[in-house]
Amino acid sequence: MKKIISQSNIEDVCQGHIFVGCAIRTDDIVYLLARKDLTEDEAAEGNDYEIPTRVILLHERQDCNELQVGAVDINNFELPQIGISLKPIAQALLLANDNHGSILPIGGGKDTWPFETLLKKGMPMCRRLRCIDGYTWAACSRRLVFKRTDIGQWVNVRKGFDASMSPLGETKNKDCGFKDIDGFSEKEIYAVGGKGDIWRFDGDSWSQCGFPTNDYLCTVCCAKDGNVYVGARNGLWRGKEHHWERICEFEKPEEMNDLRWFDNKLWLAYDYRLLYWDGSDLHSDIIYKDKKISLGGNIDSSENMLFVTRSYETWTYDGKDWYNIIPNFN
């Protein structure tokens, strides 16, 4: 995706909003999660669900010089998460962290879809929606994991966890629970979170991985080089199952937003920084037109593209060049 959005679409669709998430459906269709741009005082006065949410679709068509844009506005969505599903159909999924984990499918051949739920009256608190082998998985607090097996059907995948664990999840251990999930396939999935809380799913059941630290875990990436990478507050880890090594220690502990593999590199996204690990060193310099540029926020990747969005702009990277597809509009 290299084409740029028109100025009129920036004014009509983006202005007055702030980007807080992104997801790639295909190399020519991507989604942005945006919310109304409020001042700190305005945000502090109300509840999160009162902040209007917008899902923006960007479509790069060969017969158009500019990106085609669509938008859906949603109200009463608290702490929303954006994800995509490729099976049984390709569409975006918008999740609200409410009592049920309400989900609104967007696109996929219909104007409107019925709402779906992760866990009725269960407060699942989903931290990540991730597409693995075409199906969407939800990583939630209290060691809850759900798989969307069909439209409107979410299955609580809990075999292997403590048999005494409540249907609402692990409520006795406050240091556990998941913030991210990724997989090489549906027969090798990793979920991470809490204080060194890592579990592996083999297609049938979950088993806990031995991990050499109780650092807070933020995100996970099952990379094309065959390794599992885990982003913690204090460092970057590499390994599998019970064998892990810390490959980088951070000078300043910080919450990592996303971890993605692209162009034989591991990309680390923070609110105001984008870094990459080349296999031996961590780099912070991103070069565009012979100048350093400052990126960060949220990222996603496909075989052919790294997708980066932060507050008021969006970029793509094809392994060679950077493209500012939504220029800064603030």
Token code pair at residue 305: 């593209």
Asked if residue 8 and residue 84 are part of one domain, the reply reads: no
Mean local confidence (pLDDT), 259-269: 98
The string of DSSP letters for 112-130 reads: ----EESSTTS---EEEEE
Asked if residue 228 and residue 106 are part of one domain, the reply reads: yes
Residue 41, pLDDT score: 87
279 falls within a domain: no
Asked if residue 141 and residue 56 are part of one domain, the reply reads: no
Where does residue 5 rank: exposed (0-12), middle (13-18), buried (19+ CB within 10 A)? buried
Nearest to 186 by CA among 200, 198, 199, 196: 200
Contacts 24+ apart (CB under 8 A), 227-236: 228/182, 228/190, 229/259, 229/261, 229/266, 229/277, 230/192, 230/198, 230/259, 231/256, 231/259, 231/268, 232/256, 236/266, 236/268, 236/277, 236/282
Cα(326)–Cα(6) distance, rounded to whole angstroms? 8
Q: Give the position of tokens 């991103």.
A: 286
Domain ranges, residue 312? 1-76+295-330
Residue 30, pLDDT score: 98
pLDDT in tens, 270-286: 999 999 999 999 999 99
Q: Give the position of tokens 């989900």.
A: 103
Residues 99 and 112 sit within 8 Å (Cβ to Cβ)? no
Where does residue 158 rank: exposed (0-12), middle (13-18), buried (19+ CB within 10 A)? middle
- Domain boundary (256, 287, 318) is at 256
pLDDT in tens, 16-60: 999 999 999 999 999 999 999 998 888 888 899 999 999 999 999
Return the DSSP state at 24. Answer: E
Phi, psi at 292, each rounded to 5°? -75, 135
Asked if residue 324 and residue 310 are part of one domain, the reply reads: yes
The total of other beta-carbon atoms located within 10 Å of residue 280's CB is 7
Residue 43, pLDDT score: 84
Asked if residue 325 and residue 211 are part of one domain, the reply reads: no
Q: Which residues 6+ apart lie within 8 Å of 20 measured at CB?
A: 33, 34, 35, 298
144 falls within a domain: yes
Asked if residue 149 and residue 190 are part of one domain, the reply reads: yes
Rounded to the nearest integer, the mean pLDDT of the chain is 96
Residues 155 and 127 sit within 8 Å (Cβ to Cβ)? no
The total of other beta-carbon atoms located within 10 Å of residue 116's CB is 18
Q: Please, which residues bridge with residue 147 across strands?
A: 137, 155
Q: Give the position of tokens 């017969």.
A: 63
Asked if residue 184 and residue 329 are part of one domain, the reply reads: no
Cα(276)–Cα(123) distance, rounded to whole angstroms? 35
Burial profile 32-52: b = 16 or more Cβ within 10 angstroms, e = fewer: bbbbebbeeeeeeeeeeeebe
Q: Give the position of tokens 């608190």.
A: 125
Mean local confidence (pLDDT), 184-188: 97
Asked if residue 100 and residue 17 are part of one domain, the reply reads: no
pLDDT at 167 over 90: no
266 falls within a domain: no
Percent of the chain's residues with pLDDT above 90: 92
Question: What total of structural domains would you count in the chain?
Answer: 2
Where does residue 114 rank: exposed (0-12), middle (13-18), buried (19+ CB within 10 A)? exposed
264 falls within a domain: no
Residue 164, pLDDT score: 87
Q: Which residues 6+ apart lie within 8 Å of 248 measured at CB?
A: 235, 236, 277, 282
Asked if residue 213 and residue 228 are part of one domain, the reply reads: yes
